[in-house]
Amino acid sequence: MTRGAGHRQHEAIKALDILNRGAWCVVCDKTTRVLSWIEVGAMPDWRIRFAEMIQAAVAAGWTLEEEHPSYSHFYCRRSGKRVSVHLQPSPPKNPLQEWPLPSQSRSIQDCLQLPDPPDA
C-alpha cells in the first residue's frame, strides 16, 4: 500500500505536536547565530503561534521566501539580509560559545522587529 503526500503531511504535523507542551520562537542569521528569541510557552495548537510569527515578520517588513512556509520554520529577507525563523521545542543556544545569547524579547512582535542583521 502506497501512502500519499496527504498522509506524509498529516504525520509531519502530528510529529510537531510536541510544540504544544512549550516552544520558543528563534530568529537566526545565515550562520545560525541567534539574533532574537522568545519563549512562547504551551498552547493547545502550535499552528496558531506559528501563524502569529509569520504575521509579525510581515508586519516588521520582512518578505517571506515561500508563499506557504514549512510547518515550523521559514526564511525571510529584508534590506538584502536573510534570516530563519523557527518554532522549536527547546531553548535557543548559539553554535559558538563566544557568541552571546541576546536577552529574551518581550513579545513575538518585538522578536521579529529586530534591526537589520549584520553581515556574517
Question: Is residue 1's pLDDT more than 60?
Answer: no
Question: Is residue 16's pLDDT more than 90?
Answer: no
CB-CB neighbours of 65 under 10 Å: 12
- Arithmetic mean of pLDDT, 71-97: 90
What is the sign of the dihedral through the CA atoms of 109, 110, 113 and 118? negative
pLDDT confidence of residue 4 = 57
pLDDT confidence of residue 72 = 81
Beta pairing class for 34-39 and 24-28: antiparallel
pLDDT confidence of residue 23 = 85
Measured torsion, CA atoms of residues 60, 88, 26, 83, in degrees rounded to the nearest 10? -70
- Arithmetic mean of pLDDT, 1-22: 63
Under DSSP, the state recorded for 106 is S
Question: Is residue 119's pLDDT more than 80?
Answer: no
What are the tens digits of pLDDT across the range 22-48?
A: 889 999 999 999 999 999 888 777 778
pLDDT confidence of residue 63 = 94
- Strands, sheet with 34-39, edge to edge from the N-terminal-most edge strand: 34-39, 24-28, 81-88, 73-78, 63-64
Under DSSP, the state recorded for 114 is P
For residue 78, give the 3-state DSSP assignment.
strand
Q: Which residues contact 73 (CB under 8 A, 6 or more apart)?
A: 84, 85, 86, 87
Strand locations in the chain (E) = 24-28, 34-39, 63-64, 73-78, 81-88
